Structure 1
């Protein structure tokens, strides 16, 4: 299978996994606080990755560790906590929609700070996808006027962190395999996450069935939605472009909406139309970068 076909398979696989992550966060928040959800997510992913990828840490040079540490903060740590906090006030489907700002932020930061150049169709694809996201957001906001939309600022900050992350990987870690990057990320974060978790009341909660139920869903989120998904994502960044890789965030809301239907959330015609516009944006943003 050639690279062109493989990158689309990776994109669709990631959209299914990450599109399901928001409902898993929602389930985690039933019996845990947002800080506990974020910490457990990192811890479970770290333990899984150290089991399957410990030997890959040897491939990370001393000079590369600083960039691995930076990507762990921007690509994992901040978003893991911010998304969980945002979902305490905003529906998971709305959070998934706002996550689609990532490609736009990746494009802007890539041009300003990383010297990336893009074709006009690629830029057009980003903005078409953004229009689709706005349609979804406006429709969702009108349907849920009582939600605290100040919390969406945390999601926007998280998308900026993702944008920094993918540009750092493309610029400084392209020669390092995805397993090494992912395992290195979570090795750096394991101890901080354990310390943060220990400052909460988790020792009192673990005996309750509700908390155990939530921990189970966060374990799935950590292993599949964070550990395995990040390996695939970093591989996708290396084999394509930062904008194409982050265009997975255009497909995530569609998957999240179907989970929302199963969780008694209804879709409007505007939301369906927005999802269609998003797909057009993904296709346009898949255009290859110009050689610099």
Structure 2
């Protein structure tokens, strides 16, 4: 048997991939798309920072067993880096998206989130010496055009520019965080890294959340949305995502980025009755199309 043949997965596993991969991609798109709807429900009652603290803490608890199992691979000297990445890649974007959810329909944040892939490429080119290439340069320009169109929108008579700015900056922070993870944490167990960074982000956010805790106890609906956001959309979703990366690779797993805006808009429309405007559709197509263009392999 040749080495190539020896590394091929069994026929049963190949067959199972036919349904597992698209199923898990759609599942993740639905879960992460729902996170924007859940923020829209919970953020007005909790406030952005307390809601994010609940999300970080509950997500970290779900992933904690992975960190405990791999604790020997996390020496003390690594924790400052983990804390920095946790603040940039989790606490900051989560707060910004929660803030945006207080100002605008959930679909706005979901569409802005798609810019993460483009910002990751831009940060890699500016600070980490990677070539951006003409295709990604065009994609960046197209994506920013979509953001500009989205920022100019008025939905139900209200301007959404500030929410778009917050969502776009959150995606920019995700782009920085992705590059920091690639530079400093490559080879580390990803689920354990997620647990560590979420835990650090939760500790960093805790004093601000306590200072801004709502004086009126949020409704059961808001509490339910907050817990679903942490347990399902953060903790369990990370487990599924890292399983997917392990099975099909990061470049294929990133396809979920295309599905999040679709599900985010559909959840908000079907369950919250939020409108889907022509401006949102045009901007979303430009942004998601630009992401698709940036991910195409050269021929």
TM-score, normalized by the shorter chain, greater than 0.5: yes
Greater shift in the superposed pair: 152-161 or 22-31: 152-161
Shift of 1:219: 0.8
Q: Distance in 1 between matches of 2:74 and 2:296?
A: 31
Q: Distance in 2 between matches of 1:156 and 1:136?
A: 11
Distance verdict in 2 for CA 1:57–1:127, change over 3 Å: farther
Q: Distance in 2 between matches of 1:102 and 1:66?
A: 24
Q: Deviations over 1:147-166 (max 9, x none)?
A: 36334333232122101110
SS in structure 2 of the partner of residue 64 of structure 1: helix
Q: What is the aligned partner in structure 2 of residue 222 from structure 1?
A: 230
Q: Does 1:240 align with 2:254?
A: no
Contact 2:118 2:140 in 1 (8 A): yes
In structure 2, the gaps of 5 or more residues are 1-12
Contact 2:64 2:192 in 1 (8 A): no
Q: Deviations over 1:60-118 (max 9, x none)?
A: 24443333222101110111212112222222211222223322221211101112234
SS in structure 1 of the partner of residue 219 of structure 2: helix
Contact 1:106 1:166 in 2 (8 A): yes
Q: Does 1:17 align with 2:17?
A: no
In structure 1, the gaps of 5 or more residues are none
Q: Deviations over 1:32-84 (max 9, x none)?
A: 22222111111211222224542233322444333322210111011121211
One of 195, 198, 207 as aligned partner of 1:195? 207
Q: Does 1:164 align with 2:176?
A: yes
One of 258, 268, 290 as aligned partner of 1:281? 290
Contact 1:39 1:81 in 2 (8 A): no
Q: Does 1:64 align with 2:78?
A: yes
Larger Rg: 2
TM-score by length of 2: 0.78
Q: Distance in 2 between matches of 1:42 and 1:252?
A: 20
Shift of 1:21: 0.6
How do 1:263-274 residues align onto structure 2 when only pairs under 5 Å count?
A: 263-269=272-278, 271-274=280-283
Distance verdict in 2 for CA 1:281–1:148, change over 3 Å: closer
One of 28, 41, 50 as aligned partner of 2:55? 41
Distance verdict in 2 for CA 1:61–1:115, change over 3 Å: farther
Q: What is the aligned partner in structure 2 of residue 95 from structure 1?
A: 109
Distance verdict in 2 for CA 1:34–1:198, change over 3 Å: same
